[in-house]
Amino acid sequence: MPTVVVIDVSLSMSRPVSLSDTSEPITRRQLAVQGVKCLLNHLQANSRLEFVSVIAFSSLYDVVCPFTRDFDLIRSKLDQLEDYDKTCLKTALQGVATLVLDEWGNSTMCQILVVTDGSVGMGPNSLSSCLSDDPSNPVRFNFPATFNVVCLANPDEPGINQSVAMYQKLIEISGKQGAVYVPEQNLSEKSVGTLFQKLAEIQYTSFQGTLSCGKLKSNIVLSPTPQPFKVDKDNRRRISQNIEICGFISVVDVGSPMALSRHLVLPFGKDHNNSGVNIDPDDDDDDEGMTPSFCVLLHGALKVENMVALCILGECWYGIIYSWADTKKKSNIMLSIFYPGLDVIPWLGPLDCLGVPKSKDQSEGLPVKPAEKRSYAQNHVNWIKHAGLQSDIQKILRHAKKLPEKTQHFYKELNRVRKAALVFGFIDLLFRLAEILDRECHSLPGSAHPDCALQLTHSASILRNRSCLDVNYTIQPMRTKFGGSDN
């Protein structure tokens, strides 16, 4: 899952720490940088697919490094950090929310790690201002996350217990899981390194399990690590370490069911073999490319046959494994984890009742098509991304520039977008579309047909009328004396 490292670069982080084994003191900011590098080393060795971003904050915040997998780039950016003014944690957390929502949206699980010296700050953006139990508090992140705080302070430092309690309350108010970490011994390179290594082992433990299908087995790693499913306040379910394939289904029959999470399936270590031949793990002559792998076999079979593998993740808990291509030249196998239950794919029915068809005649495929052949005049409008809405608006403007020849096409697309906006509750789109048509009318060249300006002005005025809010209402072309739109 993506990780945001938030480092305090206020003046309090420039306080020197005397080390017994060196003559030159080191600042707390330098210790924080060394600790984050220790975390990066762990990720590079165990979770190379993780995205990491770094934010430095004092009274303001600065995105030192956006989300990337280039850990060497992050290390070089950390070495360039400088000290600034006072601590304002509230501003930094607002920057974290903006960065994550812009990059990943509100459905991706993220790790938030705040590295500070335990200073709570002063003023309206201090830590105390973040502890208000207000629903509009920016600390209440609108995306799933794990919130951890590392306080680089000596255990016997004055006021550290009070600061830790305030940070713990901050985590509770955010509604996320997390903890406050403090070095067990006095600040030193060794104690800070041990602290970050402990944090990495707790928060970044990769899922290692076994994927089996009959006698074929393969050791796998799932990236990102599947999170426990929260049944209630005190009950959480985790997927089994042994993922068992129970059958195969055509991609056409499965479609695109709703999933709890999606994970990349990677082979790990040596596969289990049942040939009776003992493979020496210390044999350096064993070529990895020539070693049989069940994951490679499964990937090729699913890709060629255009099927998915239905697998059991636990009691009444299922998922599917399928081939997925991010580019034309590279593809991987993915695991989609469904919500616990049997009816997670409604059109297939209870998953525990699936079986092999008795004859080929009974296998007609899903979804079941009606006997009569229907004709649809228009396609459904899908505005999942900005590009879809922008494409529909541009199509209207292309027809508008070819008036009066494209009058019927112009009003057909205009009514199509208008009805979709009303169904989605996107009323503001009607007024913005009217402004676009007015601007298009004023920018017409002198050689444009007179009917073009009349139709644009007419349609813009109708979009602003209250009668346009009726879904059953249809905008009709304006009758003009030019004859191009009098159809």
CA distances from 347 to 238, 360, 416, 453 (A): 26, 20, 30, 50
Residue type, 315: E
pTM over 0.75: no
Instruction: List, for residues 14-70, the tens digit of each pLDDT value.
Output: 888 876 665 577 888 999 999 999 999 988 887 777 899 999 998 888 999 999 999
For the purposes of burial, counting CB atoms within 10 Å of the CB of 212, is it exposed (0-12), middle (13-18) or buried (19 or more)?
middle
pLDDT of residue 487: 43
pLDDT of residue 280: 44
Q: CA-CA distance, 182 to 160, in Å (whole number)?
A: 9
Of the candidate ranges 84-98, 201-215, 354-368, 411-425, the one whose mean pLDDT is the lowest: 354-368
* Closest residue by Cα to residue 13 from 130, 148, 153: 153
The pLDDT of residue 485 is above 90: no
CATH topology of domain 208-273+294-357: Ku70; Chain: A; Domain 2 (2.40.290)
The architecture that CATH gives domain 3-203 is 3-Layer(aba) Sandwich (3.40)
Of the candidate ranges 48-52, 245-249, 433-437, the one whose mean pLDDT is the lowest: 48-52
Q: Which residue has the higher pLDDT, 127 or 85?
A: 85
pLDDT of residue 38: 93
Task: Using DSSP, state whether 118 is helix, strand or coil.
Answer: coil
pLDDT of residue 107: 78
- Domains 3-203 and 208-273+294-357 fall in the same CATH topology: no
Per 3-state DSSP, the chain is made up of helix, strand and coil in percentages (nearest 5) of: 35, 20, 45
Region for 319 from its dihedrals, namely left if φ exceeds 0, alpha if ψ lies in -120 to 50, beta otherwise: beta
pLDDT of residue 245: 92
| Rounded average pLDDT over 402-428 | 89
**Domain-wise residue ranges, the chain:** 3-203, 208-273+294-357, 387-469
423 band by pLDDT with thresholds 50, 70 and 90: confident
Residue type, 49: L
Q: CA-CA distance, 131 to 89, in Å (whole number)?
A: 11
Task: Using DSSP, state whether 153 is helix, strand or coil.
Answer: coil
pLDDT of residue 269: 67
CA angle 388, 391, 392 (to 5 degrees): 90
